[in-house]
Structure 1
Amino acid sequence: MVGLFVSPVRAMSLTEAVRIAIVEHPAIQASVAALGASGYAVKDARAGYYPSLDLQGDTGHQFSDTTTTRGRGLGGEDTWRRSMEARLTQNLFNGFATRYRVKAAEKQMEFLRHQLLDTRESIALRVVEAYLGVLRGQKVLELSGRNIDRHREVLKDVRVKAEKGGGNWGDVNQAQSRLALAESRLTLVKGELREAKAAFLEAVGIIATDLERPESVTPIPVSLEGAVTTALLNNPTVMAAATAIEASEADFKATNAAFMPKFNLELSESRGWDTDGLEERTLDRRALVTVQFNLFRGGGDIARKKQAYELLTEARQKHHESIRLIKKQMQIDYSAYETARDRIEALKARAIASAEAVAAYQSQFRFGRRSMLDVLDVENELFQAKVALVDVDLQHRVSRYRVLATMGSLLESPELDSRTVVPSEDILTVPREREKPSRTNILRYPAAPENGEDKSGENKLNRDTAVQPESDPAPVESGLKDASP
């Protein structure tokens, strides 16, 4: 009966790990806060379109010696004055400064939105790498444990054989040495697993316990050129750099306002008591259009304009740099993916051949045709082959995820279930330009042509961005099974 009320322990999926990190990671929360602050900066800039209402009052001692007081025979006059004024000021023209300040603030907000998307992609990739790293460590730990068990069995057999006089103690010493080496490797593997779990804890915020092995991986473009094209259109870093140019252009244009006149509409009413040495009440109402045109400000306006131009140049160059970096990163990631993909079959064949060699050597050892050293050598070769197969599986998967992250599409991959990872209702309210219809063909990844023929008649760009056929390293597990002696 107790078991009916106990929640079963359920393995954590990759989707769940990414979702937790996206919601709770401090780096993402910091980016969200920065984006929220930029929204208030936009409101602050838009305040320039609205009137300003000010109230002012004063009271205190005033000594007045004016023609008015002297004409009344008072000479100088001491009074305790009081006054108050209400003033409404509406800007009519300020050289388009408000317009460009608003645009700059909006572009800064969009820039921070792209940075938030980039942070999400980066954190998601860290989660994926840590998640797969833990799975890799657990698998290698399992293989290392089996390897030690096998070494202990061999040591037991040769010791029994030596004690009965059918073997020599040199084989026993050799087996003991190999067992110690295997145990040393196990210690190293445990350390690597602890490091992987530490990386998982940092990325996700919880301890890695029971993790599911992800079975599917999102297809990627079939060519490097297609992947680069998609990345240049979709990568948040490139898009943020492009938005920074627009923000800098708006800031540069806003500096022109300093060289133009400013027109304001002012409505005011002031009341005074005992002001200017006269013990009487005064009332003053005004409706004015004022104009202000600066002739000289010490060269500060020209300096600010030149500064804004240099900042615009900096933004443009950073955009060019981001394009170069994305191209470089995509070449590295795609090359790593292709290298790992091409190594899988060879390493599977190596593991199977090593398993067959182990079986053959064990049989020959029983008939005295092979030494214990020969058997231990092939046993170690099989272990190394299995570990290499696990490693290349990890490299293949991680490199594919890195390609997706560089393209800016990691959180859109089906196995991460972006609809649950990235909430549809959040503060990312700036229109996403990367979803313009003109880019749809590139971002949707049309299906790869069958048998190398382009039956759809799509242009070269669509062929370059076609997806890789699904040939994921699921066979690696079967390769390990086939490699079991």
Structure 2
Amino acid sequence: MQLTPKAICAAAALLFITGASLGQTADTLRDAAQKAVQTNPEVTARFNAYRAAGDAVHVARGGFLPRVDLNALAGRDNDRITGRLPDETQSLNRSQVGLSLTQLLWDGLGTRREVDRLTHERLARYFELMEATEQTVLEAARAHYDVQRFRRLVQLAEDNYVQHRYAFLQIQSRVKAGVGRGVDLEQAGARLALAESNLATEQANLHDVTVRYQRIVGELPPAKLPALAMLKDGVPASAGDAVTQSLRNSAAISASIEGLRAAREAASGRDSAFQPRVEARLAGAGGRNVDGIEDQKRNASAHIVLNWNLYNGGSDNARVNQQKNLLNQAADARDRVCRDTRQVAAIAYNDTRKLTEQLVYLERNTLAIEKARDAYRQQFDIGQRSLLDLLNAENEVYTARRAYANAEHDLALAFARTQAATNRLGTALGIARTDQAADEAAGWAAGDDAPARCPATVAEVGNNTDRSALDARAEGMSRSAPAPR
């Protein structure tokens, strides 16, 4: 049966179904992730690779079954027999139809090893499909958050432009009234131009992330997006738990383990070249002058055939050595994937902790700067502050608000990255897996093939700073400073 692109997308969509909603704030994010899984070419490509791997297993299993061949011929034989006086020439017209059956009896377990190898390859493709879907959900979340981020930054840039335009118009009216200085107008114009540049930059960035959203999800983002959805539920309680869960649940690690097992079966299968191949063959034919024997109408045969290659130019030994090296390479690839997974999980979780703490300080900073800006504006109106002080305060407010918005969206993305690192992002969005292929991975375990060079240790660098010691240093500097005059 030929699959249409629509059917392929529908089959891939079976990997996820919509579960319980996390609330309206997460609905658009969940919808974006769902559409990305259904339409993203990376997911459908992995799905087709998995189906092809299943077909390869069926191909290999065919080696256990008998092979039946039908053959037919019609023609004329001309034979010249020498050694007689005179030489004799015989001509014979013949036609026949034959049927042969060949059944493998022994091939050194080569076919069995090949079936086992391809079965592991199929499982590897399945786990790669799971990894691709989880990463696609993460990319959809990233695209969603980036659109929200830059829409917010455009709003801040617009507000910043309005404030600088207002200041410019105020200074301009003062200069025209003869109570302001021309240099103040130049300063206000320079800051207004910078605000216009910032607005143009943010608008360009918004365009870029919108196009990226369209590439990942398959359509443009909605005109209105709700508030940020912080996917906190289910996030591990500690960095150690995050790393442990990521190493246990990672589909990428599972795929690399199945790749290692496939390489091991391939290495074992190479040994079959040193053993004999035994087949049972049954054949029969009927017709006129069968096998070129005059007046023969039929024949039948039954054989046990043994073929044992005794020398092959050293190729078989070379293949065995080659496969051993490939087995070692597969083990190295497994450990590399494990280390990459550990790093991603540790960084993502640390970002959630770092950004949660930073948001408190950034909010405090923003509120303080806004109050200072308002005070500077009042003092400027009565001549106690310079224009440069007021413009600097406006820029600081814009910078503080922008930093807070970026940190807030970075935190939302950090939670999503942590969920994806522990293979739970789809579940956190209310999207549950329901594919039939999952049945063959039921009960799967790494066993003795777990990564050997990837302990679940967590770095705590930079997380144990003693603030009291830093405060004591500052107080010491204050005491040693000269008294104000």
Interval containing the TM-score (normalised by the shorter chain): 0.7 to 0.9
Contact 1:63 1:277 survives alignment (8 Å): no
Match of 1:471 in 2: none
More displaced 10-residue stretch of structure 1: 243-252 or 331-340: 331-340
Question: Counterpart of 2:401 in structure 1: which amino acid?
Answer: K
Contact 1:154 1:175 survives alignment (8 Å): yes
1:362 to 357, 368, 377: 377
Per-residue CA deviation, residues 288-313 of structure 1 (Å, 9 max, x unaligned), is 33333222222222222222211111
1:149 to 162, 169, 174: 162
How far apart, in 2, do the equivalents of 1:434 and 1:173 lie?
A: 71
Pairwise CA distance, 1:241: 0.8
How far apart, in 1, do the equivalents of 2:194 and 2:320 lie?
A: 69
1:41 to 48, 56, 60: 56
How far apart, in 2, do the equivalents of 1:79 and 1:434 lie?
A: 65
Contact 1:274 1:281 survives alignment (8 Å): yes
More displaced 10-residue stretch of structure 1: 167-176 or 101-110: 167-176
Per-residue CA deviation, residues 350-391 of structure 1 (Å, 9 max, x unaligned), is 001011112211222222212222222112111111100001
Pairwise CA distance, 1:165: 3.4
Match of 1:96 in 2: 109
Match of 2:28 in 1: 13
Cα distance 1:115–1:371, how it changes in 2: closer, same or farther (>3 A)?
same
SS in 2 for 1:430: helix
How far apart, in 1, do the equivalents of 2:303 and 2:72 lie?
A: 21
Cα distance 1:277–1:124, how it changes in 2: closer, same or farther (>3 A)?
closer
How far apart, in 1, do the equivalents of 2:403 and 2:291 lie?
A: 95
Q: How many residues align?
A: 421
Aligned: 1:87 with 2:97: no
SS in 2 for 1:354: helix
Match of 1:57 in 2: 72
2:336 to 317, 321, 338: 321
Match of 2:196 in 1: 183
Match of 1:170 in 2: 183
Contact 2:229 2:412 survives alignment (8 Å): no
1:431 to 423, 430, 441: 441
2:266 to 247, 251, 259: 251
SS in 2 for 1:285: strand
SS in 2 for 1:13: helix
Cα distance 1:223–1:343, how it changes in 2: closer, same or farther (>3 A)?
same
Match of 1:207 in 2: 220
SS in 2 for 1:102: helix
More displaced 10-residue stretch of structure 1: 221-230 or 44-53: 221-230
SS in 1 for 2:98: strand
Aligned: 1:262 with 2:280: no
Per-residue CA deviation, residues 200-247 of structure 1 (Å, 9 max, x unaligned), is 122112122323334331342122221111111111221111110110
1:337 to 343, 352, 370: 352
Aligned-pair identity in percent equals 26
Contact 2:228 2:412 survives alignment (8 Å): no
Pairwise CA distance, 1:146: 1.1
Task: Give the 5 Å matches for 1:65-464.
Answer: 75-210=88-223, 211-219=225-233, 220-275=235-290, 278-413=293-428, 416-419=429-432, 422=433, 424-425=434-435, 427=437, 430-433=440-443
Contact 2:230 2:412 survives alignment (8 Å): no
How far apart, in 2, do the equivalents of 1:281 and 1:74 lie?
A: 24
Pairwise CA distance, 1:274: 2.4
Question: Counterpart of 1:47 in structure 2: which amino acid?
Answer: G
Contact 2:147 2:206 survives alignment (8 Å): yes
SS in 1 for 2:76: strand
Cα distance 1:398–1:276, how it changes in 2: closer, same or farther (>3 A)?
closer
How far apart, in 1, do the equivalents of 2:282 and 2:300 lie?
A: 8
How far apart, in 2, do the equivalents of 1:431 and 1:92 lie?
A: 31
Cα distance 1:305–1:435, how it changes in 2: closer, same or farther (>3 A)?
closer
CA RMSD of aligned residues (A): 2.6
User: What TM-score do you get using the length of structure 1 for normalisation?
Assistant: 0.81
SS in 1 for 2:162: helix
How far apart, in 2, do the equivalents of 1:123 and 1:221 lie?
A: 22
Question: Counterpart of 1:289 in structure 2: which amino acid?
Answer: I
Per-residue CA deviation, residues 264-322 of structure 1 (Å, 9 max, x unaligned), is 22222122422566431332223333333222222222222222211111111111111
Question: Counterpart of 2:117 in structure 1: which amino acid?
Answer: A
Pairwise CA distance, 1:398: 1.4
Q: Which runs of 5+ in 1 are unaligned?
A: 1-9, 437-460, 462-485
Per-residue CA deviation, residues 26-69 of structure 1 (Å, 9 max, x unaligned), is 111111111111111011011112111111122222123569x9
Per-residue CA deviation, residues 105-128 of structure 1 (Å, 9 max, x unaligned), is 111111111111122222222211
User: What TM-score do you get using the length of structure 2 for normalisation?
Assistant: 0.81
More displaced 10-residue stretch of structure 1: 330-339 or 33-42: 330-339
Question: Counterpart of 2:279 in structure 1: which amino acid?
Answer: N
How far apart, in 2, do the equivalents of 1:347 and 1:51 lie?
A: 74
